[in-house]
A and B are shown apart, each in its own frame.
Chain A
Amino acid sequence: DIQMTQSPSSLSASVGDRVSITCQASQDIGNYLNWYQHKPGKAPKLLIYDASTLETGVPSRFSGGGSGTDFTFTISSLQPEDIATYYCQESDGLPTFGGGTKLEIK
Chain B
Amino acid sequence: QVQLVQSGAEVKKPGASVKVSCKASGYIFTNYGVTWVRQAPGQGLEWMGWIGANSGNTNYAQTLQGRVTMTTDTSTNTAYMELESLRSDDTALYYCARVRRDSSGWFRAFDIWGQGTMVTVSS
Contact = CB atoms under 8 A, between A and B. Distances in A.
Contacts of B108: 32, 34, 49-50, 91
Nearest to A41: B116
Nearest to B50: A95
Nearest to A91: B108
A44 B113 contact: yes
B103 to A, nearest CB: 12
B62 A1 contact: yes
Contacts, number: 57
Interface stretch (A16-24, A70-78, A96-104): A96-104
B113 A97 contact: no
A54 to B, nearest CB: 12
B120 to A, nearest CB: 17
Contacts of B44: 85, 87, 97-100
B114 A87 contact: no
Nearest to B113: A43
B30 interface: no
Chain B interface size, under 10 / 10 to 19 / 20 to 34 / 35 or more: 20 to 34
Given A44-B45, A97-B44, A34 B110 contact: yes
- Most-contacted residue by chain B among A34, A91, A95 (CB, 10 A): A95
Nearest to B46: A97
A45 B113 contact: yes
A28 interface: no
Contacts of B16: none
A46 B35 CA distance: 14
Closest 9 CB pairs of A and B: A43-B113, A49-B109, A100-B44, A97-B45, A95-B47, A91-B108, A46-B111, A34-B109, A99-B44
Given A44-B113, A95-B35, A99-B44, 12 more contacts: A34-B108, A36-B110, A43-B113, A44-B95, A55-B111, A85-B44, A89-B45, A89-B110, A91-B108, A94-B61, A97-B45, A100-B45
